[in-house]
Amino acid sequence: MSWLEILDIVSRWIFIFCISYYLITNLQWYNYSLYRVITKHHKQKWHFLHFVIPICVFLISSFYAQNMIFYAYLYIVEIPLLTIWTFKLDKKLVFTKRVLRFFVICFAFVFFNEILTILSKDFNPSLRFLYLLPLLFGCIFSKLYEILLLNRYTQMAKDKLALMASLRIIAITGSFGKTSIKNFLYQILQNKYTVYATPRSVNTFKGIIDDINKNLDFGTDIYIAEAGARQSGDIKEIALLLQPQYAIIGEVGYQHIEYFKTFDNVLQTKLELLESKRLKKAFVYEKNPIPEYISGDKKSLIQPYPDDIRNISATLEGTSFEIKLQKEWYLFETKVLGEFNVDNISVAIVLANALKIPIADIQKSVSKLQPTPHRLNLLNVNQKIIIDDSFNGNLKGMLEAVRLSSLYPKRKIIVTPGLVESDAESNIALAKEIDKVFDIVIITGELNSKILSAYIQKPQKIILKDKAQLENILQASTQQEDLILFANDAPSYI
């Protein structure tokens, strides 16, 4: 075998690794949905730069100069560009078992393909596309393996839940606020019961199955699960798996509208949580319309919230409100920020009361509530006031963060990419409120930079395409006693 043949084999392996690495990274971001990678990605140019163009060069160059064009492109252009791209990412590839299986399957086919090539003495350059088949086979066989694995783990989760006959399950869904409600409810209930809640923002069918099999202890009294959705049927799948006795359906809005197309589709999907056959009570946000097809026994289980709330006060020091329970008014105070959190805390209070926790104990728990990480967290850093609202991606929540910032008497800076997975009208409404409050606006990313810039006129504007520069920009443009709001600060692939 000549050195040129060795170079060709090594180069092909490196090339397949590069495009495989790019593909699996994007699939991991979008829950392993190729459809979403193709149709929902906000930076389609990356697909052309790191996938389409390299493949075209690989296929075409075989007809010219003994692949020298391909070698030059691979080592001078593709590898450096992909390396730079990888290092700049906020959300890098996590080498999970699924990712490792993908690479193993893919390169098993690469090895098999190379053996066939060596055995075939007269390889036609026009068949060079066959070298790409391992990537296709890797995707197909990896997907089939994951389906078989999921079916097995699903049955394991069902069997485990069946053994836990006394377990009470609370499922929470909504367009936003799910994680906050879950965390508040967990903190209130844990003083009386052995409670387990899905960690972080685990809210998919696969994530919940994995969580049940690995983490749900047989001694648990109450299991709180967050249910998210990207398409119709997702919530129903979770509801039929868990069969929760209690459901909370938070405010339904236009979040993820690009997936559902219409508000009615979003609402219908969230209401799939009512499909549980063991449902005793469903707490539904009062402004959510209830369609006519929800009737009879299902409708009788619905209790609107927040109900009977008065004297709300929400400042940078904390939040207080009164709620009517058992025909009497009770005061609740918390250090959790944000008027919208009154809704989230109130439904946790009502459900805790339904689970027979004394009101005085609930009041004490509410006073000690810790905010959900990265959602209106107030910090003091280097003599500056920081409001970390970087995981809050809905209009109502971001407008409340802006309102709270307006209460601060000194200079105010906001760092935001705007609203992701939302419509232009919502971003315009956000931009107009930002324009009234802040002295400096740092817009991160290109997704909404044009529309935000068009409606933000008064403050100084800084458009930051590369977030790696953010720390330097903040050091140069801020001073002591400034307030800095990080609002929905998304990862770089957005």
CB atoms under 10 Å from CB of 162, counted, come to 9
* pLDDT tens, the chain, 494 aa long: 677 778 878 888 899 999 999 999 999 988 888 888 888 787 889 999 999 999 988 888 766 655 788 888 999 999 999 999 999 888 899 998 889 989 998 888 888 877 776 666 555 555 667 778 888 888 888 889 889 999 999 999 999 999 999 999 999 999 888 999 999 999 999 999 999 999 987 899 999 999 999 999 999 999 999 999 888 899 999 999 999 999 999 999 876 666 778 889 999 999 999 999 999 999 999 999 999 899 888 899 999 999 889 999 999 999 999 999 989 999 999 999 999 999 999 999 999 999 999 999 999 999 999 988 888 999 988 899 999 998 887 888 899 999 999 999 999 999 999 988 777 888 999 999 999 999 999 998 887 889 999 999 999 999 987 777 888 898 889 999 999 999 987 555 44
Could you tell me which CATH class the domain 377-487 is placed in? alpha beta
Residue 398 identity (one-letter amino acid): M
Do 164-367 and 377-487 agree at the fold level? no
Q: How far apart are CA 74 and CA 431, in angstroms?
A: 43
Residues 6+ apart with CB under 8 A from 8: 67
* Whole-structure pTM value: 0.77
Phi (first) and psi of residue 393, to 5 degrees: -120, 25
For the four alpha carbons of 72, 73, 74 and 79, in that order, the dihedral sign comes to positive
Q: How far apart are CA 213 and CA 161, in angstroms?
A: 9
CATH number of 164-367: 3.40.1190.10, 3.40.190.10, 3.90.550.10, 3.50.50.100?
3.40.1190.10
pLDDT digits (tens, 9 = 90+) for 337-379: 999 999 999 999 999 999 999 999 999 999 999 988 888 999 9
Which residue matches tokens 């691979």? 74
Residue 478 near residue 414, CB atoms below 8 Å: no
Residue 42 near residue 447, CB atoms below 8 Å: yes
Q: Which pLDDT value is given to residue 241?
A: 97
Q: Which pLDDT value is given to residue 391?
A: 85
For the four alpha carbons of 111, 114, 120 and 126, in that order, the dihedral sign comes to positive
* Secondary structure (H, E, C), the chain: CCHHHHHHHHHHHHHHHHHHHHHHHHHHHCCCCHHHHHHCCCCHHHHHHHHHHHHHHHHHHHHCHHHHHHHHHHHHHHHHHHHHHHHHCCCCCCCCHHHHHHHHHHHHHHHHHHHHHHHCCCCCHHHHHHHHHHHHHHHHHHHHHHHHHHHHHHHHHHHHHHHCCCCEEEEEECCCCHHHHHHHHHHHHCCCCCEEECCCCCCCHHHHHHHHHHHCCCCCCEEEEECCCCCCCHHHHHHHHHCCCEEEECCCCCCCHHHHCCHHHHHHHHHHHHHCCCCCEEEEECCCCCCCCCCHHHHHCEEEECCCEEEEEECCCCEEEEEEECCEEEEEEECCCCCCHHHHHHHHHHHHHHCCCCHHHHHHHHHCCCCCCCCCEEEEECCEEEEEECCCCCHHHHHHHHHHHHCCCCCEEEEECCCCCCCHHHHHHHHHHHHHHCCEEEEECCCCHHHHHHHCCCCEEEEECCHHHHHHHHHHHCCCCCEEEEECCCCCCC
Residue 322 identity (one-letter amino acid): E
User: In the structure encoding, which two tokens stand for residue 47, read together?
Assistant: 């697909």
Which residue matches tokens 């052995």? 194
Q: Which pLDDT value is given to residue 494?
A: 41
pLDDT digits (tens, 9 = 90+) for 65-102: 557 888 889 999 999 999 999 998 888 999 988 899 89
Residues 6+ apart with CB under 8 A from 115: none
Domain ranges of the chain: 3-147, 164-367, 377-487
**Nearest to residue 337, comparing CAs of 286, 378, 379, 398?**
378
Q: Which pLDDT value is given to residue 393?
A: 79
